[in-house]
Structure 1
Amino acid sequence: MAQNSKDSLKRTWSELNKAKKEERKQWKEINLEKKLKKQEIKNTQQNNAAEAHELNPKFISTVSIAVPGSILENAQSPELKTYLAGQIARAVCIFQIDEVVVFDDYSDEVNAKKAKFENGNNGHESRQSCVQLGRILQFLECPQYLRKSFFPIHKDLKFCGLLNPLNAPHHLSVKDNFAFREGVVLNTPVKPGKGSIVNVGLLKQVRVDKVLVPGIRCTVKLQPQEPNIKKLKGLIVSPCMPRSETGIYWGYTVRIANSLSKVFSQCPYKDGYDLTIGTSDKGDSVDNFECPKYKHLLIVFGGLHGLEAALESDAVLDADDPKLLFDSYLNTIPQQGSKTIRTEEAILISLSALRPKLNPDTRSKIFHESHINSQEDGVVKSNESIVDIGNVVDMAKFE
């Protein structure tokens, strides 16, 4: 009986040792798999970073509109002024406008109320209604999770809670999984050899590949991520990159011009606008309009007294007829039933009439909503190719 008990005990220890060996073997395989996966991700990130410095965003034709800031002065209350600006922002987003120029169509008025406007390192005064319209347009364009960083409490934004949201594609929620996101650089100490920390509206912060000035807005492309890490990794890219790579509409920029002439002379594009369209009930019918190819299109809308008043008050322009300023001068609402068309109405109607006629030199890709997925685990995964690192754009700030 004793001998049988010893043989049973030996077999038990033998089985335990065998089981432990199998367990150690499995752990070695799991650890090896993890190391290989980390190495693969590391190699992908290095390759993507190398490719990012070599590629440039593809050029896409742009559409800009110019709107007089004085239209806010025709509103009867602060609430209506805010809602008017919201209507313009909605129209701009719906028709995927790239730039909004708010210009002063009464630039010769000495007693006009002024407000300080700061754009980057340059600061100057502009008509108060222009600054207010520009501020509200920028507030609505900014993703919600960034607004506290760029827009402190201000009287011009007091009634923005009344406005309909833009629901722009780049207004991503924490559950949206997309390769690109807008972010703000945090004032976090940067370790040697490491990039800045950026808040992109996710549960985890993102460490980017460059050291940036805290407080500026930037566009980040998220890289394939390792599991169970404290910070995500990303690359700083040009704001043009999301649309260039995916076709997604990535918002608009806002510029203020102190006169009609500065709408043209301060154009941000190197060769200016190669096609300009003025809108007026005195123009030619839009039904007969054939749009030539363009790289940068500008559509200008008049205020309460039309573009004639803006031309008359401009000390630089010496033309007698606003028609002479544009390549095409169009009546986008022929046979109108009302004596007057409000500017916010004219923007929607004109862009609707012109949309099927536009002939851009280079069109963007068609974006599919399926490219934005909902993430459940908080880990962003991206298999898209990393593209060019562009310049970081500081959001224009109004004070």
Structure 2
Amino acid sequence: MGKVRAPASPDAGEAAHRRGRDSGQRPSKEERKKWRELRLLKHVEKHRQLKERAAAAAAGGGQTAPLSFPAAPGAGRGVSRTLALAVPGSILENAQSRELRAYLAGQVARAAAVFCVDEVVVFNDQGAAALRPGAEGSQLRAPECCEQLSRLLQYMECPQYLRKLLFPVHEDLRFAGLLNPLDCPHHLRRTEESEFREGVVADLPAVKGRYSLVNIGLTREVRADRLLEPGVRVTLRLDPDGRRGTVVPPRTPRIEMGTYWGYSVRMALSLADVFAQCPHPGGYDLLLGTSDKGDPLDQLELPAAQHALIVFGGVQGLEAALENDEKLTLDDPADLFDLYVNSCPGQGSRTIRTEEAILITLAALHPRLLAADRGAAGEGSGTAGEENGAEGGGATGGDCAAGEGGDAADGSESSD
């Protein structure tokens, strides 16, 4: 009688799959079938372990054992403070083509994600003359450049498995394929596990009136703990079995575990609205303006702040934005801010582009903010915090106008 061969483990099958792929050999039909079977066995084994854990917990006292998720980048300590940056939409008009406009927006999004920015405000620095009438005599709308920058920032922040559900085909997103991905912790792959996951409420008539199902990018929808409006983006805390979820504020992963969970996008019709429409009840408690006329950043003491805002100027700087704003009567933009800083003194170029100023300033502030977070954690004050109810990114409340605008032929650079 021949020897009975033990079935290969799924891990061994995947290792063989990788070896064949790396060698450049095309696997045969039988090999591909065997790999699919091994992956299925791995999934079945994982499901069996979940059932055993739940049964053991029920026998021991009726409570479900917590599911062990892999640690996400930045996990371990909660972060309650927020960091926001305000950027004028007019910086897109300094790009010579639509492709360069999209790439510039991608640079802003990458900088915001790398340095864990919680909110990006796109504001109009061109004055009331640049505003457009809304549909059927409704309130005024922002210039096309502001709407395009906002849409691109929202698109990049959105997890890849939700983009087709939240963003219809639009001219502003025509060159979205040129953008470098953010690859944030909430941009999960189908095979990755996480206690939290972003999703969109599914419109399924079979369950209307009873509960809502949420598409979180897996093979099946997850049952939410409440009725929700279809098409809305939500953040879910998944149960151990992965079939149910509890709707939580988008900042919960950041507050509880310190895991960066993307940024929200807000549009402001003027520089004054950047401050007046702050989503936090007490407003921003630290305002920083950037300019080559400011004080060197490395010589200033950064005060502790719960909600900090950094405002960047456009091609003509914050001075022009203040002059074009009818709601602000100040003459010096430095009077608007707690600190008016120059993040790159002694620069070798006459001007620094806005996208460059964002990277330079955030890189200089990042170590100080991390030190403040460590100090707050040591004092035990970084656990509660104020939860920001604004949705992180998500779809826009209404479809913005698709106008492309005229590509600027002027290649002049923007001020710091």
Q: Cα 1:320–1:237, aligned 2, differ >3 Å: closer, same or farther?
A: same
TM-score (norm 2): 0.72
Residue of structure 1 in register with 2:104 after alignment: 84
| CA–CA separation in structure 2 for the residues paired with 1:34 and 1:166 | 35
**1:313 alignment partner AA:** N
Residue of structure 2 in register with 1:309 after alignment: 320
Q: Cα 1:76–1:42, aligned 2, differ >3 Å: closer, same or farther?
A: farther
| CA–CA separation in structure 2 for the residues paired with 1:99 and 1:208 | 26
| CA–CA separation in structure 2 for the residues paired with 1:365 and 1:169 | 23
SS of residue paired to 2:294: strand
Q: Give how far 1:257 is off.
A: 0.4
Residue of structure 1 in register with 2:20 after alignment: none
| CA–CA separation in structure 1 for the residues paired with 2:287 and 2:395 | 26
**2:106 alignment partner AA:** G
Q: Give how far 1:242 is off.
A: 1.1
Q: Give how far 1:68 is off.
A: 0.4
Q: Give how far 1:37 is off.
A: 5.2
Identity %: 50
Match of 1:322 among 333, 341, 347: 333
Residue of structure 2 in register with 1:139 after alignment: 155
Match of 1:258 among 264, 269, 277: 269
| CA–CA separation in structure 1 for the residues paired with 2:351 and 2:54 | 70
| CA–CA separation in structure 2 for the residues paired with 1:35 and 1:237 | 24
Kept in 2: contact 1:134–1:256 (CA 8 A): yes
Give per-residue Cα distances to partners, 1:174-226, cap 9 Å, x unaligned: 00011100000000136488421000011121011111000000001110118
Kept in 2: contact 1:218–1:392 (CA 8 A): no
Q: Give how far 1:310 is off.
A: 0.2
Q: Give how far 1:108 is off.
A: 3.0
Match of 1:68 among 88, 96, 100: 88
**Which has the larger share of strand?**
1
Residue of structure 1 in register with 2:28 after alignment: none
Residue of structure 2 in register with 1:184 after alignment: 200
Q: Cα 1:340–1:204, aligned 2, differ >3 Å: closer, same or farther?
A: same
Residue of structure 1 in register with 2:248 after alignment: 237
**2:109 alignment partner AA:** A
Check if 1:353 corresponds to 2:373.
Answer: no
Match of 1:343 among 327, 350, 354: 354
| CA–CA separation in structure 1 for the residues paired with 2:122 and 2:61 | 46
| CA–CA separation in structure 2 for the residues paired with 1:60 and 1:173 | 27
Residue of structure 2 in register with 1:6 after alignment: none
Runs of 5+ unmatched residues, structure 2: 1-50, 68-76, 378-386, 401-416
| CA–CA separation in structure 2 for the residues paired with 1:341 and 1:170 | 32
Q: Cα 1:158–1:365, aligned 2, differ >3 Å: closer, same or farther?
A: farther
Q: Give how far 1:45 is off.
A: 6.4
Runs of 5+ unmatched residues, structure 1: 1-31, 49-56, 227-231, 367-388
Kept in 2: contact 1:237–1:391 (CA 8 A): no
> How many residues align structurally?
327
Q: Cα 1:281–1:41, aligned 2, differ >3 Å: closer, same or farther?
A: farther
Q: Cα 1:108–1:363, aligned 2, differ >3 Å: closer, same or farther?
A: farther
TM-score (norm 1): 0.75
Residue of structure 2 in register with 1:383 after alignment: none
Kept in 2: contact 1:291–1:358 (CA 8 A): no
| CA–CA separation in structure 2 for the residues paired with 1:167 and 1:148 | 17
Match of 1:292 among 303, 310, 325: 303
Q: Give how far 1:241 is off.
A: 1.1
**2:154 alignment partner AA:** Q
SS of residue paired to 1:125: coil
Q: Give how far 1:238 is off.
A: 1.3
| CA–CA separation in structure 2 for the residues paired with 1:181 and 1:41 | 29
Aligned-residue CA RMSD (Å) = 3.2
Q: Cα 1:282–1:41, aligned 2, differ >3 Å: closer, same or farther?
A: farther
| CA–CA separation in structure 1 for the residues paired with 2:284 and 2:371 | 12
Residue of structure 2 in register with 1:195 after alignment: 211
1:130-169 equivalent positions in 2, closer than 5 A: 130-169=146-185
SS of residue paired to 2:205: coil
Kept in 2: contact 1:115–1:128 (CA 8 A): no
Give per-residue Cα distances to partners, 1:351-380, cap 9 Å, x unaligned: 1112223378656999xxxxxxxxxxxxxx
Residue of structure 1 in register with 2:11 after alignment: none
| CA–CA separation in structure 2 for the residues paired with 1:116 and 1:140 | 26
Q: Cα 1:147–1:34, aligned 2, differ >3 Å: closer, same or farther?
A: closer
| CA–CA separation in structure 2 for the residues paired with 1:148 and 1:192 | 23
Check if 1:212 corresponds to 2:228.
Answer: yes
